[in-house]
RNA sequence: GGGGACGUAGUUCAGUUGGUUAGAACGCUGCCCUGUCACGGCAGAGGCCGCGGGUUCGAGUCCCGUCGUCCCCGCCA
């Protein structure tokens, strides 16, 4: 192959096939860089030694597909190119065949600056000829294989589940597939194989996994595509620790493919601690946590600052940012949409004039260096003093501080350098977040929703609070977080039908409603369901992080745009009236 | 659904306060060139300034609308 030839291959006769990356025509001497999946090699065509060949080569253009027969020759010392792996050799062509010509492409795979995404996506086949894309897609294949091997070696079976399945009203919007046989009825593409994998546990396949496509009709982000791939797994008779071990094992195998040697076990943190220390349920561990600095202020201090002494006062520390100008501080306030009742103090100098003792204590408490940026986040006195109101106000302080921490670390990443790559496992800070709340209160609808999904088991000791105090029920649910990105989410499931019913009731569903939505599943639970649990991880996100990419589109061969359009095939499209009629569907103008 | 950025040659971009024939680089075409590797030199072609309306003597430039791409919020059990 083109990219694999080395000085040790000198003297061999080789047949190479590939694309013309670049042609350098010096008149009677032509150089062609031939490119295939493995890289580039320089072909030499000399008019003097082969005029007919030279004539053919002079008509060759970028992205023509060539077959070359030639001799591998070690280059003279003066002509070695140290910038390419094959730079010590070149191919003296004896024969050249144009297998296909090419229109001038809208952009060249050999270009240093890559074109805009619209053009890249429309001409994805050319974009994917670029070495970066080739490397990402190769990495994806290797990582998938490593995960399959690892899970298989632990006794997991890869089992397929349907893509055409049943719509469930919970969760994300479904992509629907109309049924021709039953006009007006629809299949749904799975948001995840959740219920199928639980059924497989009931069926006795005690260790299941699948690298599987999932579909969610929600708005996109750089790290969210409407169809994406999960590494999905489930085991019977699990413990949380057992699930963590299996995931850590396959992540070690996956990262090894990218030359990173991870060191499990990964640290763990309870959800409540994550909120208190990082103001978010997916903390980025590469920077210092938020510090509680309530104690450095007296009650008089806080009253003078119009801050509520009963609410948390926390400090966000961003190392090595130095002093900020007035303008920068104003700009920074724009970074985070301020929540009502949350106050931000970002001018320590001014604070120091009025409260010198507090600021001295503050610096000591957060162990701040002189050039560290400190921002204080606290709460204005709340009007309502009930327990729930105070809890919400406190959470608003934590999450605002968390958002501030993220925005500032992003903005000043050049200064603190915490995101700089070292090429070691230290670049990848994994974290298990555990003990998520079972329910979240939905202010709009005035009811409780499942924080993870409604098949998640609560902590056994919280069973009693399911109806009396849903907000206090902890779930056996866990997330795996990498550098502030949620990679995966899982739980120990409910295997008792009576508990499952209670959960549906707590979610405000009557028995009839539960039966109409999940009847098949509730029935299955009654036939000897083993305890079981599992997790699903976003494969695309894993590859994205390993590839050092900023967008999922860099690691998905044929991705969709932010408006969920495939620019290459131009999908979605309207369909013919005949098709619609056959499906019994009428489209409103 | 909301906010922001962008849209000018095949590509990446510049285009002043609204004022003559809209520029550059790369790419492309032709010619020259035997050691280049982002080859070099000379010459040339290439534009619905996203689209539609408006203001104006005059619009790439100002206003309104619309479409597209990207980022964020909402949303994503």
pLDDT at position A336 = 63
A380 touches strand B (CB under 7 A): no
pTM of the prediction?
0.93
Whole-angstrom distance, CA of residue A233 vs CA of residue A10: 49
pLDDT at position A505 = 86
Confidence class for position A330, pLDDT limits 50, 70, 90: confident
The nucleotide whose C1' lies nearest the CA of A105 is B10
pLDDT at position A511 = 86
Q: How far is the CA of A332 from the C1' of B3 (A)?
A: 17
Tens of pLDDT, residue by residue over A208-220, are 999 999 999 999 9
A334 touches strand B (CB under 7 A): no
Mean pLDDT in residue range A164-184: 91
Whole-angstrom distance, CA of residue A558 vs CA of residue A128: 10
Confidence class for position A3, pLDDT limits 50, 70, 90: very high
Q: How far is the CA of A327 from the C1' of B22 (A)?
A: 38
pLDDT at position A411 = 80
pLDDT at position A51 = 94
pLDDT at position A445 = 72
A564 touches strand B (CB under 7 A): no
The nucleotide whose C1' lies nearest the CA of A27 is B33
Confidence class for position A297, pLDDT limits 50, 70, 90: very high
Mean pLDDT in residue range A534-563: 96
Given a cut of 70, is residue A337 above it in pLDDT? no
Sequence-separated (6 or more) residues with CB below 8 Å from residue A389: A382
Confidence class for position A338, pLDDT limits 50, 70, 90: low
Given a cut of 80, is residue A19 above it in pLDDT? yes
Whole-angstrom distance, CA of residue A531 vs CA of residue A297: 50
Confidence class for position A188, pLDDT limits 50, 70, 90: very high
Mean pLDDT in residue range A83-104: 95
- Secondary structure (H, E, C), A399-427: HHHHHHHHHHHHHCHHHHCCCCCCCCHHH
Mean pLDDT in residue range A486-513: 90
Q: How far is the CA of A220 from the C1' of B75 (A)?
A: 9
Chain A window 226-285, residues with Cβ within 7 A of nucleic strand B: none
Whole-angstrom distance, CA of residue A113 vs CA of residue A282: 34
* Angle, helices A539-547/A240-256, rounded to nearest 10 degrees: 40
Given a cut of 90, is residue A343 above it in pLDDT? no
Which residue gives the smallest C-alpha to C1' distance to B26?
Answer: A111
Judged by DSSP in three states, A430 sits in strand
The first and second tokens of residue A274, run together, are 């994550």
Confidence class for position A23, pLDDT limits 50, 70, 90: very high
Whole-angstrom distance, CA of residue A76 vs CA of residue A10: 12
Judged by DSSP in three states, A329 sits in helix
Query: Which nucleotides in chain B lie less than 7 Å from some protein C-beta?
Result: 1, 10-13, 26-29, 32-40, 68-77
The nucleotide whose C1' lies nearest the CA of A337 is B73
Report whether A408 contacts A318 (CB < 8 A): yes
Q: How far is the CA of A219 from the C1' of B2 (A)?
A: 13
Average pLDDT of chain A, as a whole number: 91
Which residue gives the smallest C-alpha to C1' distance to B41?
Answer: A26
Confidence class for position A335, pLDDT limits 50, 70, 90: low
Chain A window 20-49, residues with Cβ within 7 A of nucleic strand B: 22, 24-29, 31, 33, 42, 44, 46-48
CB contact burial A480-518 (16+ within 10 A = b; e otherwise) = bbbbbebbbbbbbbbbebebbbbbbebbebeeeebbebb
Whole-angstrom distance, CA of residue A67 vs CA of residue A59: 15
Which residue gives the smallest C-alpha to C1' distance to B40?
Answer: A26
Confidence class for position A566, pLDDT limits 50, 70, 90: very high
Residue with tokens 């397929």: A160
A61 touches strand B (CB under 7 A): yes
A510 touches strand B (CB under 7 A): no
Residue with tokens 């130095």: A322
Which residue gives the smallest C-alpha to C1' distance to B32?
Answer: A27
Given a cut of 90, is residue A410 above it in pLDDT? no
Q: How far is the CA of A27 from the C1' of B38 (A)?
A: 19
Reported ipTM: the value is 0.93
Given a cut of 80, is residue A85 above it in pLDDT? yes
Judged by DSSP in three states, A294 sits in helix
Mean pLDDT in residue range A570-575: 92
Mean pLDDT in residue range A431-438: 94
Enumerate long-range contacts of A269-277, CB under 8 Å, 24 or more apart: A269/A431, A269/A432, A269/A433, A269/A434, A270/A433, A270/A434, A270/A435, A271/A433, A271/A434, A271/A435, A271/A436, A271/A437, A272/A435, A274/A433, A275/A395, A275/A398, A275/A399, A275/A402, A276/A312, A276/A398
pLDDT at position A225 = 97
| CA-CA-CA-CA dihedral for A137, A139, A140, A141, to nearest 10 | 90
Given a cut of 80, is residue A169 above it in pLDDT? no
Partners of A343 in beta bridges: A378
Mean pLDDT in residue range A487-506: 91
The nucleotide whose C1' lies nearest the CA of A76 is B35
pLDDT at position A572 = 94
Least confident of A101-110, A190-199, A374-383, A385-394: A385-394
* Angle, helices A511-525/A497-506, rounded to nearest 10 degrees: 150
Report whether A283 contacts A431 (CB < 8 A): yes
A112 touches strand B (CB under 7 A): yes
Whole-angstrom distance, CA of residue A545 vs CA of residue A551: 9
A571 touches strand B (CB under 7 A): no
Q: How far is the CA of A584 from the C1' of B17 (A)?
A: 61
Q: How far is the CA of A552 from the C1' of B69 (A)?
A: 16
The nucleotide whose C1' lies nearest the CA of A454 is B77
A450 touches strand B (CB under 7 A): yes
The nucleotide whose C1' lies nearest the CA of A116 is B69
How many residues does this entry show for chain A?
A: 589
pLDDT at position A278 = 93
Cis peptide before A143 (omega within 30 of 0): no
The first and second tokens of residue A543, run together, are 């590859």
Least confident of A165-179, A183-197, A442-456, A556-570: A442-456
Chain A window 180-199, residues with Cβ within 7 A of nucleic strand B: 191-192, 194
The nucleotide whose C1' lies nearest the CA of A170 is B77
Strand pairing class (A39-46; A89-100): parallel
The first and second tokens of residue A218, run together, are 């929600």
Q: How far is the CA of A415 from the C1' of B35 (A)?
A: 45
A111 touches strand B (CB under 7 A): yes
Tens of pLDDT, residue by residue over A227-256, are 999 999 999 999 999 999 999 999 999 999
Chain A window 527-556, residues with Cβ within 7 A of nucleic strand B: 551, 553
Confidence class for position A589, pLDDT limits 50, 70, 90: low
Q: Please tell me which of A133-142, A323-332, A377-386 the model is most confident about, judged by mean pLDDT.
A: A133-142
Mean pLDDT in residue range A178-202: 96
* pLDDT-above-70 percentage for chain A: 98
* First-to-last C-alpha distance (Å) of chain A: 55
Given a cut of 70, is residue A484 above it in pLDDT? yes
């Amino acid at each position: 192959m083109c990219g694999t030839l080395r000085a040790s291959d000198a003297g061999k006769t080789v047949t190479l096939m590939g694309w013309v990356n670049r042609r350098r025509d010096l008149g009677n001497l032509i150089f062609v860089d031939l490119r295939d999946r493995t890289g580039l090699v320089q072909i030499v065509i000399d008019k003097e030694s082969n005029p007919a060949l030279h004539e053919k080569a002079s008509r060759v253009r970028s992205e023509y597909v060539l077959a070359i027969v030639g001799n591998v020759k070690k280059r003279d010392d003066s002509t070695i190119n140290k910038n390419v792996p094959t730079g010590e050799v070149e191919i003296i062509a004896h024969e050249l065949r144009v297998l296909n010509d090419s229109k001038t492409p809208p952009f060249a795979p050999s270009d240093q600056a890559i074109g805009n995404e619209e053009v890249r996506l429309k001409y994805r086949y050319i974009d994917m000829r670029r070495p970066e894309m080739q490397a990402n897609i190769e990495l994806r294949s290797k990582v998938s294989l490593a995960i399959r091997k690892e899970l298989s070696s632990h006794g997991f079976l890869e089992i397929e589940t349907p893509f055409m399945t049943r719509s469930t009203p919970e969760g994300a919007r479904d992509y629907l597939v109309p049924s021709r046989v039953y006009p007006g009825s629809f299949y749904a593409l799975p948001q995840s194989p959740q219920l199928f994998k639980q059924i497989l546990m009931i069926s006795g396949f005690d260790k299941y996994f699948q690298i599987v496509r999932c579909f969610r009709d929600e708005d996109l982000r750089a790290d969210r595509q409407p169809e994406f791939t999960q590494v999905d797994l489930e085991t019977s008779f699990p413990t949380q620790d057992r699930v963590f071990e299996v995931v850590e094992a396959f992540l070690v195998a996956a990262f090894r493919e990218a030359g990173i040697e991870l060191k499990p076990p990964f640290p763990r943190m309870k959800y409540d601690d994550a909120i208190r220390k990082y103001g978010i349920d997916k903390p980025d561990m590469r920077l210092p946590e938020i510090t509680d600095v309530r104690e450095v202020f007296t009650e008089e201090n806080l009253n003078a600052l119009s801050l509520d002494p009963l609410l948390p006062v926390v400090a966000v520390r961003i190392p090595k940012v130095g002093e900020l100008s007035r303008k920068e501080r104003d700009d920074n306030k724009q970074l985070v949409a301020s929540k009502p009742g949350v106050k931000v103090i970002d001018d320590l100098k001014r604070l120091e004039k009025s409260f010198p003792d507090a600021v001295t204590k503050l610096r000591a408490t957060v162990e701040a260096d002189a050039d560290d940026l400190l921002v204080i986040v606290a709460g204005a006195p709340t009007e309502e003093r009930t327990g729930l109101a105070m809890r919400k106000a406190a959470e608003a302080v934590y999450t605002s501080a968390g958002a501030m921490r993220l925005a500032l670390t992003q903005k000043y990443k050049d200064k603190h350098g915490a995101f700089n790559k070292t090429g070691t496992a230290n670049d990848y800070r994994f974290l298990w977040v555990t003990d998520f709340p079972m329910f979240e209160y939905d202010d709009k609808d005035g009811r409780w929703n499942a924080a993870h999904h409604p098949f998640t088991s609560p902590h056994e000791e919280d069973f009693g609070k399911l109806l009396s105090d849903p907000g206090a029920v902890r779930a056996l649910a866990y997330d795996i977080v990498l550098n502030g990105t949620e990679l995966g989410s899982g739980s120990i499931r409910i295997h008792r039908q009576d508990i499952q019913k209670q959960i549906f009731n707590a979610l405000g569903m009557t028995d009839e409603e539960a039966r109409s939505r999940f009847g098949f599943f509730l029935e299955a639970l009654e036939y000897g369901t083993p305890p079981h649990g599992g997790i699903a991880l976003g494969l695309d996100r894993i590859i994205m992080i390993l590839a050092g990419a900023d967008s999922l589109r860099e690691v998905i061969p044929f991705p969709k745009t932010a408006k969920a359009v495939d620019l290459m095939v131009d999908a979605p499209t309207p369909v013919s009236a005949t098709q619609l009629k056959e499906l019994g569907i009428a489209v409103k103008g």
